[in-house]
Amino acid sequence: MYVYADNAATTAVSPKALEAMLPYFSEVYGNASSLHSPGQRAAEGLQRARETVAKAINADFKEIYFTGCGSEADNQAILSGAALGARKGKKHIVSTAFEHHAVLHTLEKLKKQGYEVTLLDVHENGVVTPDDVAAAIRDDTALVTIMMVNNEIGTVQPIADIAKVCRERGVLFHTDAVQAVGHIPVDVKALDVDMLSMAAHKFHGPKGVGALYARKGVPLVNVIEGGQQERGKRGGTENIAGIVGMAAALEEATADLDKDMAYVTGLREKLIEGLSKIPHSRLNGDREKRVPGTVNFCFEGIEGESLLLLLDARGIAASSGSACTSGSLDPSHVLLALGLPHEIAHGSLRLSIDRMNTEAEIDHIIESVPQVVDYLRGMSPVWDELERGLTPHLI
Amino acid sequence: MPLYSDTVMDHFQHPRNVGKMEDADGIGEVGNAVCGDIMRMYIKVRDGIITDVSFITFGCGSAIASSSMATEMIKGKPIEEALELSNKAVAQALDGLPAHKLHCSVLAEEAVRAAVKDYYDKNNIAYDPAVFGCDMACAHEHDHTPTEE
């Protein structure tokens, strides 16, 4: 058995999405900007996909801009909000310390251009409060950008309440909903957000395609200059096959969302219960306010990369926020933002499941993880010192 | 291309000489938990020969593999030879390490030296302190910047 439990990293393209895409590679290959019939057939496919994606989030199709990925959508939303603010002399942006790097690195770039950025504390439970946002907004705040679901720990932010605060204060609001769309209900009108980013490959669509929702009247700046594609806001010949695949995957993911959420939540609860039995372990992020499929644990005394490699050898694909897996000397900024010390953050494990996973797979994870944790603790000098009482247990 | 060579994966998945040693003659521990890797090396010495060696390591796959390989390379060797073990030799024996993992081989070299120093100190054996020049606090901050194999 090989269990793929890294769906927050990416997912398999669903058979339905793949089937929808295939004709657009070799049969319906026209350029959607062309006037001839092959081009018009492509344009029709593009339009249908736009309507499908819009419907899934309760938007108008004219408010959907297809991009090359979720990161591009985040970049475009933030740069647009910043540019709009600057025209009114507003150069302050509010965000959080545990955003995706597509957001944080864009904000870093803006800081070098003279913008001021306030990164909100995410508290020990990984949830920002609307009061935090209200307190951070200033007269010169151009934009608030806060993710809907954190990618590493899976906590869901109170987006509707935050959007309300922003609306009352007249500040533009963007949410990175890459980990939310297709997994929990996302209704842009109910949430009342100005901009929202998504990525197809997080809900069993293909990689290389994302979308930005921008409410009517929100002026976008281009990240890619070019032709008149995407109402002139994103140059480049459209990736029609990818876009069609995104629409098909999203339609499928949202068709039975309540049922799927209940099913995945059940699996997740079993997973949390099973892993919580490991001594000196800790579930990261709020126990209740979380997306159905993402679970993040820290195990004291072990390091995440060796845990991942041994789990892979036992047929489990997961991820970790340890420094060794992040490619830097620091562990995940998300876990550090929760206030976890480095030595605990190094021993993190993220398991992200979805509707494609089975109960037997969860059983395999619950059986394997404690064995691997035990094995690694058995050869860990850190664990040795903890067990001998030379250093105090932190969790 | 996989992250690690087959040799690294072999030593990581089947580490040699792993475990604590109750009656060690010298124990060396290097690294720190904040950086994400700690190695503890145990040696047994008879007539100037390292007759037995073991390790326990908190760290990534390459840290565990580097520890394992280092123990194999010094087992049965005279102490003087063990002190000559370089991080480069450890990395080479592992058929190379990714550039950002080379510090793991540095830690292995330092763990061996720390164990020998401990053995010398415990047995009042005189040595040239210059041999153990570095304070072995954290390999990341050390100056032996190895090049990729």
Digit-coded pLDDT (tens) for B93-134? 999 999 889 999 999 999 999 999 999 999 999 988 888 865
pLDDT of residue B32: 86
From B33's Cα to the closest Cα of chain A, the distance in A is: 5
Question: Would you call B134 a catalytic residue per the annotation?
Answer: no
- A vs B, Cβ pairs < 8 A, gives 72
Predicted TM-score (pTM) of the model is: 0.93
User: pLDDT, tens digit, for every residue of A257-286?
Assistant: 999 999 999 999 999 999 999 999 999 999
Examine the pLDDT at B144 and tell me if it is beyond 70: no
B99 touches chain A (CB under 8 A): no
- Nearest C-alpha neighbor of A118 from the set A100, A101, A135: A135
Cross-chain Cβ contact B64/A310 below 8 Å: no
User: pLDDT, tens digit, for every residue of B44-83?
Assistant: 999 999 999 999 999 999 999 999 999 999 999 999 999 9
User: pLDDT, tens digit, for every residue of A23-74?
Assistant: 999 999 999 999 999 999 999 999 999 999 999 999 999 999 999 999 999 9
Distance of CA B126 to the CA centre of its chain: 22
- CA–CA dist A146, A159 (Å, integer): 8
State the catalytic residue, choosing from B35, B60, B134, B138: B35
Residues of chain A below pLDDT 70? 324-329
Cross-chain Cβ contact B61/A383 below 8 Å: no
- Nearest C-alpha neighbor of A162 from the set A152, A151, A148: A148
Question: Strand locations in B7-104, DSSP E?
Answer: 26-32, 37-46, 49-58
Q: Which of A301, A309, A322 sits opposite B36 (nearest CB)?
A: A322
B63 touches chain A (CB under 8 A): yes
CB A383 within 8 A of CB A281: no
State the catalytic residue, choosing from A69, A166, A298, A324: A324
State the catalytic residue, choosing from B60, B104, B134, B138: B104
Examine the pLDDT at B89 and tell me if it is beyond 70: yes
Written as six digits, the tokens of B106 are 């540095």
pLDDT of residue A327: 61
Assign B53 to helix, strand or coil.
strand
Cross-chain Cβ contact A305/B61 below 8 Å: yes
Q: Which of B13, B19, B58 sits opposite A382 (nearest CB)?
A: B58
pLDDT of residue B2: 80
Q: Which helix (H) or strand (E) segment is A296 a member of?
A: strand A294-299
Helix ranges restricted to H, A1-154: 15-21, 23-26, 37-56, 70-87, 101-112, 130-136
Instruction: Please compute the mean of the pLDDT values over residues B1-11 and round it to a whole number.
Output: 91
Written as six digits, the tokens of A91 are 């150069």
B141 touches chain A (CB under 8 A): no
- CA–CA dist A237, B125 (Å, integer): 75
Question: Would you call B35 a catalytic residue per the annotation?
Answer: yes
